[in-house]
Amino acid sequence: MPNLVDWNDAAQDAFAGDLVTIFAYTTPAGGAVAVPVSPTGGVDRAAGEISVTTSLAFNRKLRHLLRDPRVAMAYHTREHGFAAGDDFILAQGVANVPLKPSPERLAAIEPDMNRFLGAAPTGPVWDWLLREYHQERVVIDIAVRRVASWPALDGSGVLRVAGESWPVDGPAPQKPPAKGTAPRVDTAKLHKQVHKLPHQLVAFRGADGFPVVVPVRVAGPDPRGLRLEAAAGLLPEGGRRAGFAAHSFGPQAIGLATRWATGWLEVHGDEAVYAAHTSAGFIAPPIKTLQTFVNGVMAKQGIRKARRDGTLTELAALKAAAANSPS
């Protein structure tokens, strides 16, 4: 078992207080996916763990975590949360993925969920609509192996590390995909969707296999993709598969605007270009009841589909296979 990571108070404050973070995991092809999540203060300093909840209805990420449980969480903004300070904090660790909700665990985290996200509406109709959203959820605990932090939210300044050492050498460049590295989505359209969103980040697989998430700024469109800017030393030299996320949110994570992508990151010196190969996202109006209604409908439909098409059975088989594989 690895030693517990003795992270500092600034990291603890962010873990316990940031409203929205970026959760990253790797893909079978060697890339990474970055998605915004709200961990609602999920941290156990004594146990060396952070946590995040997810609905079994939104189960695509669970497949990836069962294949490779190495994950990362980037605490990249203090906006609308309860934490202070300006540190950009990256926690990397190993995820434990349960596939059955624990009513006791969900009850224990409900006060924090209400504190961060506001109390959910109640009543016969709401209770029925939100049953799957609230009850078909699992808590993913992440055993932290490393906490890296920079003294500014843009990732500039001197890197500090607690836990396992930061790899001395950066990740090696990757072999280009068989279909080429050029953009496969409309770069001009993607630029319009993301350039005004205040939080923009890139994720890639680090030298030791853990995802790395760093802040970037979209500088403009280019025939080769989105031109990116980042603090010195954050982006590794060469080409590699990478994920991109841009988002905004209001108090209690209402009024979301999110766009994420997978694609190819090419870095040479001070020049960085991101060619998106897939892109998805959504915009939610800043109306809590409407956003809650949509969440309930999507969760209900997602759970029904997962039961109907055998997804839950497939996930159970993946978890059993992971448990029986050599460590």
DSSP string covering 239-305: EEEEEEEEEE--GGG-S-EEEEEEEEEEEETTEEEEEEEEEEEEE--S-HHHHHHHHHHHHHHHHHH
**Does pLDDT of 257 surpass 60?**
yes
In the chain, what percentage of residues exceed pLDDT 90?
A: 83
Q: How confident is the model at residue 323 (pLDDT cuts 50, 70, 90)?
A: confident
Q: What is the pLDDT of residue 310?
A: 84
163-190 pLDDT, tens digit per residue, is 999 999 999 999 999 999 999 999 999 9
39 found inside a domain: yes
Average pLDDT, the chain: 93
Q: Are 211 and 21 in contact (CB under 8 A)?
A: no
Is residue 160 packed enough to be buried (19+ CB in 10 Å), middle (13-18) or exposed (0-12)? Answer: middle
DSSP symbol at 55: E
Q: What is the pLDDT of residue 327?
A: 52
DSSP symbol at 237: S
26-50 pLDDT, tens digit per residue, is 999 999 999 999 999 999 999 999 9
233 found inside a domain: yes
Q: What is the pLDDT of residue 30?
A: 95
What CATH number is given to the structural domain containing 33? 2.30.110.10
114 found inside a domain: yes
Q: What is the pLDDT of residue 21?
A: 98
In the chain, how many domains are there?
1
292 found inside a domain: yes
Query: Would the pTM count as exceeding 0.85?
Result: yes
- Domain with 105, as residue range(s), is 9-324
